Amino acid sequence: MLVEPYLIRARRILPVVALSALALVPAGCSNGGPPAYDGGPVRVVCTTTLVADLVNRVGGERVQVDALMGPGVDPHRYLPTAGDRAKLDAAHLVVFNGLHLEGKMTDVFEKGRDRYRAVAVTRDLDRSLLRPADTDGGEYDPHVWFDVALWAKCLPVVRDELAKLDPAGAEVYARNADAYAKELAALDAEVRAAADKLPPARRVLVTSHDAFGYFGRAYGFEVHGLQGVSTASETGTPDRQRLARLLGEKKVPAVFTETSVPDDGLRAVLDTALKDFGQRVTLVGGDDALYSDALGPPGSPGATYPGMVRHNATTIVRALAP
């Protein structure tokens, strides 16, 4: 559980061996914490493109936002580079998704509590609103952005953390957050209206990994992934058989690849669905692949969060329609 304030100093939980190793490091090498903010653009380093998009919408021209993971990059498996660490060191504020989305980077934030002023956008979400997911070290499903109304609840923490650093911008941050919340409320209604065009029996969404649970809960879909909530989970023949059987039983017409996950596993499932269960299933991919854990490159339909949500909703409804 992330606590307020996230920046906790001098937390000594290092084992004795690590402490004695630290004692050998000259004092001058130690990092004195994040750089102090003294006017100008607030330098914010984010992990995913989705988080960067949220911070940009709230921060507007007062922030300079950099995302460590580019378009199409899988956050579950991402390992920070030396360049990333330099960016993190230079940031006034580090913003990440949390809930163990950035599985391999958790260590960086855990051990870097003295170095970074880091905050998770999901920090203040009421845990009763989260889907459980006991996998890859995470307690909850981290893919909260698939429920547009839930993603909107991540706005206040960004607004407040920016205002704490840059009080002169507090009004701007509050205004931007309010405006974006209204836009997201309209977007949420738009997705609901699109989903409502599909008969309930057609609302079965099958994707490469189990990222769309919040989407299913919010907009009335039964959701299945070949892989679990994290792409770091392994799949085998039983998983493919299970999914192929489901496609046959439910007569699912199409399954969806994701821009940040390879599609070879799903292809094998479709072969089995046809061979063993007589169900011919379309693989929706290429330009129509769903954006799951990353936005698209600039100029693509999924370059922004609202664009990504619209692309996904339209693609899903079109491919599953009778």
Nearer to Zn ion, 45 or 211 (CB): 211
The residues of the shown chain that bind Zn ion, judged by CB under 5 A, are 211, 293
CA dist 125 → 23, 159, 176 (Å): 39, 14, 20
Nearer to Zn ion, 145 or 219 (CB): 145
Bridge-based pairing of strands 138-140 and 132-135 is: antiparallel
Task: Write down the residue that tokens 């609103």 correspond to.
Answer: 129
Nearer to Zn ion, 211 or 266 (CB): 211
Task: Tell whether omega for the bond before 5 is within 30 degrees of 0, i.e. cis.
Answer: yes
DSSP symbols for 29-93? GS--SSPPP-SSSEEEEESSHHHHHHHHHHHGGGEEEEESS-TT--STT----HHHHHHHHH-SE
Q: Which helix (H) or strand (E) holds 209?
A: strand 204-209
* CA dist., res. 114 & res. 296, Å (int): 33
Nearer to Zn ion, 153 or 209 (CB): 209
Give min distance, CB of 76 to Zn ion, in A: 5
Nearer to Zn ion, 34 or 142 (CB): 142
CA-CA-CA-CA dihedral for 48, 51, 56, 62, to nearest 10: -90
